[in-house]
Amino acid sequence: MSIRKLLLAPLVAIANAAIAAGAFAQTSNWPTRAVTIVIPSPPGSSTDLMARIIAERLPAALAQPVIVDNKPGAATNIGHAIVAHKPADGYSILLTQNTLAMIGNFYKKLDYDPVADFATVSMVGTAPLLLVVNSASPVKSLKEFVDYARANPNRATYATAGVGSPHHLAVVLLGTMTGIEMTHVPYKGSAAATQAILANEITLAVAAVTAAAPFIKQDKLRALGVIESKRSSLLPDVPTVDETLPGVVLDVWLGVLVPAGTPRPIIERLSIEINKIIRDPQARPRLLAAGIEPAGTTPERFSEVFKADVAKFAKLVKAANIQPE
């Protein structure tokens, strides 16, 4: 070792010790004030419900208030960007859907990086989507809809929760697998898309089970299929799209993330405490009643799912020849 390195070694050791001490102090005292869960969707969504269940119980574990802050708009980009630009100190949490893994394919420029600006905490659940038509529609089945759309290119309109949402990608996948061409009509959230199909303003809507199930039971909407790998417990008689069109599957997850650089001990504590809430037998019936299948994973497992989705959706968008805005 050179003399210069020998002289610098103690200084480097002192600096590293100071950094470690600072990080320990930051994480051992955390939290000392309220923690905010940011939701990039409006109240009433499945993501919002999940956040409120977590916010009800997390304060007991953290000994600090937990606030839910809805920041909808710009196809979830507003809420995502808010958390991406927050300090990595554990006080700002993002609860979103796999929109975050899709959104980069639909915009030429975002003021945040969907992958690099976040660290995964836990995949907390899955929420199936439905293809629905108005009950007055002559279309009685998914096969009939595909036949109609194939015979009338771009005449069929479909409503989704926004550009780059799981709802949007679900129909992109349907179009890619069947060759049908439809006209996209994006709305601000699943509830708004559901209202559009109730008013018979569009041909087809992609809606969350929570938003559509009551209207299906009232015979105001007709379900054509669940876009997931298994049937919904809320609508067990509704087949999956995959049962009619093998390969048309898009599982929607709900996940908790924090700004990249958040200290590992904070991430691990959040993951442990949130997973306890999600797996609590008292929370499970509320989640299932809202069409959410509880999960709860390690940060590492959620990271694997997230990165796999980023690659899968990039490939799908490219195959569909969708150009970013």
Compute φ and ψ for 259, nearest 5 degrees: -55, 140
Q: Tell me, what's the pLDDT at 192?
A: 84
The verdict on residue 76 lying in a domain is yes
The pLDDT tens digits of the residues spanning 295-306 come to: 999 999 999 999
The verdict on residue 158 lying in a domain is yes
Same domain, 43 and 121: yes
CB distance 176 to 319 below 8 Å: yes
Burial 278-300 (b: 16+ CB within 10 A, else e): beeeebeebbeebbbbbbbbbbe
The pLDDT tens digits of the residues spanning 243-257 come to: 999 999 998 999 999
Same domain, 120 and 140: no
Q: Which domain holds residue 69?
A: 33-126+252-319
Asked which of 195, 216, 244 is the last residue of a domain, the reply is: 244
Q: Tell me, what's the pLDDT at 9?
A: 52
Q: Tell me, what's the pLDDT at 19?
A: 47
Q: Tell me, what's the pLDDT at 1?
A: 46
The verdict on residue 283 lying in a domain is yes
CA distance 235 to 101: 27
Asked which of 244, 275, 304 is the last residue of a domain, the reply is: 244
Same domain, 57 and 96: yes
* Cis peptide, bond prior to residue 72, ω within 30 of zero: no
Cβ contacts of 117 within 8 Å, gap of 6 or more: 84, 259, 260
Compute φ and ψ for 121, nearest 5 degrees: -115, -55
CB distance 165 to 75 below 8 Å: yes
The total domain count for the chain is 2
Q: Tell me, what's the pLDDT at 74?
A: 86
CB distance 244 to 225 below 8 Å: yes
The CATH number of residue 135's host domain is 3.40.190.10
Compute φ and ψ for 193, nearest 5 degrees: -65, -40
Asked which of 192, 224, 244 is the last residue of a domain, the reply is: 244
The verdict on residue 263 lying in a domain is yes
Sign of CA dihedral 163, 210, 191, 71: negative
Compute φ and ψ for 221, nearest 5 degrees: -130, 155
Same domain, 94 and 193: no
The CATH number of residue 312's host domain is 3.40.190.150
Same domain, 40 and 184: no
The verdict on residue 236 lying in a domain is yes
Same domain, 140 and 174: yes
Alpha-carbon separation of residue 198 from 170, 182, 235, 286, 300 (angstroms) = 20, 19, 19, 26, 41
pLDDT tens for each residue of the chain, 325 residues long: 444 444 455 554 454 444 444 544 456 799 999 999 999 988 888 899 999 999 999 999 999 999 999 999 888 999 999 999 999 999 999 999 999 999 999 888 999 999 999 999 999 999 889 999 999 999 999 999 999 999 999 999 999 888 888 889 999 999 999 999 999 999 877 778 889 999 999 999 998 887 788 999 999 999 999 998 888 888 899 999 999 999 999 989 999 999 999 999 999 999 999 999 999 998 888 888 888 889 999 999 999 999 999 999 999 888 888 888 7
Same domain, 181 and 235: yes
The verdict on residue 82 lying in a domain is yes
Same domain, 274 and 139: no
Same domain, 196 and 291: no
Q: Which two tokens stand for residue 31?
A: 């939290």
The verdict on residue 324 lying in a domain is no
Q: Tell me, what's the pLDDT at 225?
A: 96
* DSSP string computed for 294-319: E----HHHHHHHHHHHHHHHHHHHHH
CB distance 69 to 38 below 8 Å: yes
Same domain, 256 and 298: yes
Same domain, 92 and 148: no
The verdict on residue 152 lying in a domain is yes
